[in-house]
Amino acid sequence: MPNVLLLGGTTEASALARLLAARGIAATLSYAGRTEHPRPQPIPVRVGGFGGVAGLAAHLRDQGITHLVDAIHPFAATMSANAVAAAEAAGVPLLALTRPAWRPGEGDRWRHVPDVAGAVAALEGPARRVLLALGRQHVHAFAAQPQHHYVLRFVDAPPAPPPLPDHHLLVDRGPFTPEGDRALIETHRVDLVICKNAGGSGAEAKLIAARALGLPVLMIDRPALPPRREVSSPEAVLDWLAHTPSPAKRGV
């Protein structure tokens, strides 16, 4: 019988958790513990790091995990790299559940930058009104460009104010709606949107709103990930589970 470890934190991971629960497949969803009140799940949840590759490999062995599914965010590159190495070390099959990167469409005004540092450098120049929709972990980097007015959106209230002299902080969690993000952009007279190429539907609202309003977008491209098997639907994961035998009983 499968015993799945699901690295979560995305809309797709939660959708897969619902499918696994409905099919009665033993599975545990793992969160890093980045937020105070993560979404409740229909399967058991564990919270916190594993302790690097060695910690994750030991967890796979000690918990008798038969299949590892990496459904974390495409920017969680360290976790994904650790998952590849730990699955290899523990002899556990690995599958990534990812979502295709967003691609610019008709009417989009995107400028691609390779990473957060590239986005900071691109902000050189006169004051703008920026929707910095990157969450909390990278905001400090933008203190290098203090001339702008930043509209920030965090999942949880931060312990201290962000180090940006001119900002408006919203505490809200997605998934967001195009109507809501359009109202946000118009209310705050945003003239530039900065975001990660997260893909999926949960973070796309601001791009739909920017397109409708003809606003420019600074799009941060995804970090490189090691090669691994990938699917883009929760149903494809169930199919993989059905056709991927559990590792042979490990000797004692």
Please report whether residue 3 would count as binding ligand 3Y8 according to CB under 6 A.
no
Show the binding pattern over residues 27-66: x = contacts ligand 3Y8 (CB under 6 A), - = does not.
----xxxxx--xx---------------------------
Binding-site partner at residue 7 among ligand NAP, ligand 3Y8, none, CB < 5 to 8 Å by type: ligand NAP
Gap between the Cα atoms of 133 and 104, Å rounded: 18
Q: Do 105 and 77 form a contact (C-beta atoms < 8 A)?
A: no
Residue closer to ligand 3Y8 (CB basis): 91 or 186: 186
Q: How big is the site for ligand NAP, counted in residues (CB under 6 A)?
A: 24
CB-nearer residue toward ligand 3Y8: 192 or 203: 203
Q: What is the sign of the dihedral through the CA atoms of 62, 50, 196 and 17?
A: positive
The site partner of 51 among ligand NAP, ligand 3Y8, none (C-beta below 5 to 8 Å per kind) is ligand NAP
Return the sign of the alpha-carbon dihedral for residues 116, 118, 120, 123.
negative
Which strand (E) or helix (H) includes residue 95? Answer: strand 94-97
**Which of 4, 5, 9, 219 contacts ligand 3Y8 by CB under 6 A?**
9
Alpha helices in the chain (DSSP H): 11-23, 52-62, 77-90, 116-122, 178-187, 205-213, 234-243
Among 16, 27, 31, 116, binds ligand NAP (CB under 6 A): 31
User: Is 145 a binder of ligand NAP (CB under 6 A)?
Assistant: no
Q: Which residue has the tokens 């897969």?
A: 16
Residue 11 interface partner, choices ligand 3Y8, ligand NAP, none, CB cut-off 5-8 Å depending on type: ligand 3Y8
Phi-psi region of 9 (alpha: psi -120 to 50; beta: other; left: phi over 0): left
Tokens standing for 57?
A: 């490999």
For residue 42, which of 60, 56, 23 has the smallest C-alpha distance? 23
Binding site for ligand NAP (CB under 6 A): 7-10, 30-32, 34, 49-52, 55-56, 72-73, 75-79, 82, 135, 196
Which residues form the interface with ligand 3Y8 (CB under 6 A)? 9-11, 14, 31-35, 38-39, 73, 133-138, 153-156, 173-176, 195-196, 198, 200, 202-203, 206
